[in-house]
Structure formats: structure tokens, C-alpha cells
Amino acid sequence: MTTLFISDLHLSPNVPKLNQAFFHFMQEEAPHADAVYVLGDLFDFWTGDDDPSPFCRSIIDAFKQLTNQGVPCYFTRGNRDFLVGKRFAKETGVTLLGDETVIELYGRKAVVLHGDTLCTLDEAYLNYRKKVHLPWLQWLFNHLPFSVREKIVARIKGDIKHDKQSKSLDIMDVTQSEVEKVMRDHQVDLMIHGHTHRPNVHRFTLNQQPASRVVLGDWGEQGYILRIDDETMSLDSFAID
Ligand code: LP5
Ligand code: MN
């Protein structure tokens, strides 16, 4: 049996092909897995667990169906779905994970995270992140009417849409020193994350031992699934059409 990892699908009602690929994954492959990990940015943006749209409900139902079949499902929030909360967890049966979580994979320990916090050169983003993660600010935001929240999100998205284009690719990648720090802190030789949209398996030496960092890919013309079982680890891509 296999443990599956996905991230950065950026689902929304505007990307029907991606939604279809996601539902196909949830119905055909995920039910046969030992566990499924979603490492953030499943959604293009998550405005709140009370989103009444049929689109959000259909995603919630897909998770519910999976967890009802007895497949454990874990969710790490990304920078686009940091507002996923307890109600989502309750309605889907998914377990929400903290920013960095150590998991046990067939006798091997790994740390899983979204990956945004590894990009320590992206100071503008990290300052913004600090603000929107303030519990009191989230509490206030969550208590606004849903339609008001939608307007605020659209406004901020519009205001910052050029910010990313002005950053160099280096700034938006992880820093190796932070990767090694997190892996040392958790005493693991395997890290799995998404966020940077640079799917790859990086191998390096940590504490004189071989170590790996797997970067999941974002879904667009291709989708990515990391499959790990007791013998193998493979980051597979497939065409989405
Ligand atoms: O996801 P990706 O790869 O496209 O880009 C990310 C970073 N961008 C973001 C922005 C979100 O995608 C959209 C934000 C919508 C705003 C909702 C706010 C809701 C308020 C909730 C209050 C509890 O995450 C991008 C990174 C990139 O990853 C790296 O790969 O660079 O970061 C940015 O572009 C952000 C800018 O650098 C800084 C923006 C400052 C905005 C100030 C607004 C302050 C709001 C305070 C609270 C109301
Ligand atoms: Mn992200």
C-alpha cells in the first residue's frame, strides 16, 4: 500500500479540468491508499469554512467520501488556504496539521510542511504572513459576513497582484540553510513540501548522512503525485487535459 502527497492544485470554479483531475484522484486512487496528505494550496483561495458555493461543498463531499471509506486524510494549510479551520475538518473528516509536522512513513521519519516558511529571503511575504496569521485578526475576519470577506480578499489580491512579478526567482525559492535547520530541529532525513512550484527531489548531505527534500509540483497542464511505500518513493507527473 502507498501513502500519497499532493499540493498546490489551486482549485476554483474557474479551472474545471483541474477540478475534474482532483475528483478523479479522490475517487480512483485515493481510496486505495494508506493515507493521503494535502500539503497546502489545494484552493486558489479559501475565504472561510462557511463558503456556501456548490464548488466548495463538492470538494468537502469528496473528502468526506474518502474519510468515510476509512482512508486517513491530512491537511497542511498553505498561503492560499491558511483560513481552513475546524469546521472544514469536522465536515470532511480530515485532520488539520500544524505548520511543520513530523510523520512516520513505513519506519522512516519525515517532516511535512507547505514550504512558504522556508523562503526566508521573501521578507515582504513573510511580513504579510505574520499579519494574516495573527489569531485576533483571523477571529475578526471570520466574524465578518461572507460577502464582505470576499470583497476584502478580492481587493487585497488586486492590490498585490504585481508584487510577485517584481521578485526574483531566487527570492521565491527556499534557502538551504533554513531547510537544514528545520530538518535538524526535527531530526529527520526527509522533508516533503510544495509551494515553490519547482517539483524535484533534492539529495544532499546532512549531519554526514544522506538526506532528501521532495518538492511537490503545482497542478496545471500537468499534475503531480508523490507516492511512497515501504520500498520506493516516486514523484510522478501526469497530463491534465
Ligand atoms: O501563492 P503564490 O505562489 O501565487 O504567491 C505567494 C505569495 N502570495 C500570497 C498572496 C495570496 O495568494 C493572496 C492573498 C489574498 C489576501 C487575503 C487576505 C485576507 C485577510 C485575512 C486576515 C486574517 O500569499 C507571494 C510570495 C509567493 O507565494 C512566493 O512564491 O512571494 O507573496 C506576495 O506576493 C505578498 C507580497 O509580497 C506582500 C503583500 C503585502 C500585502 C499587505 C496586505 C496586508 C493585509 C493585512 C490584513 C488585512
Ligand atoms: Mn503556496
- For the cut 90, the answer to whether the pLDDT of residue 237 exceeds it is yes
* Domain 3-239: which CATH number of 3.40.50.1100, 3.90.1150.10, 3.40.50.2300, 3.60.21.10: 3.60.21.10
124 lines ligand 1 (CB under 6 A): yes
8 lines ligand 1 (CB under 6 A): no
H helix runs in 47-122, sequence order: 54-68, 86-92
- For the cut 90, the answer to whether the pLDDT of residue 7 exceeds it is yes
Reported as a single tens digit per residue, the pLDDT across 31-46 is 999 999 999 999 999 9
Percentage, residues of the chain above pLDDT 90: 97
pTM tops 0.85: yes
Please report the beta strands in 93-194, taking only residues with DSSP state E, as ranges in sequence order: 95-97, 100-105, 108-113, 190-193
Q: Which of 94, 5, 118 is nearest to 46 (CA)?
A: 94
What is the mean pLDDT of the segment spanning 152-163?
A: 93
Q: Which of 123, 156, 157 to mutate to test the pocket of ligand 1 (most atoms within 8 A of CB)?
A: 156
What is the residue with the minimal CA distance to atom 21 of ligand 1?
A: 132
The Å distance, Cα 6 to ligand 2 centre, comes to 12
The Å distance, Cα 208 to ligand 2 centre, comes to 31
What is the residue with the minimal CA distance to atom 4 of ligand 1?
A: 164
Specify the amino acid at residue 220: G
- For the cut 90, the answer to whether the pLDDT of residue 134 exceeds it is yes
Closest-lying ligand 1 atom to the alpha carbon of residue 122? 31
What is the residue with the minimal CA distance to atom 34 of ligand 1?
A: 164
What is the mean pLDDT of the segment spanning 123-135?
A: 98
**165 — pLDDT class (breaks 50, 70, 90):** confident
What is the mean pLDDT of the segment spanning 41-58?
A: 98
pLDDT value of position 161 = 86
pLDDT value of position 184 = 98
The Å distance, Cα 229 to ligand 2 centre, comes to 26
**CA-based end-to-end distance of the chain:** 28
Q: Rounded mean pLDDT of the chain?
A: 97
pLDDT value of position 241 = 86
- For the cut 90, the answer to whether the pLDDT of residue 163 exceeds it is no
Q: Which of 231, 239, 224, 241 is nearest to 4 (CA)?
A: 224
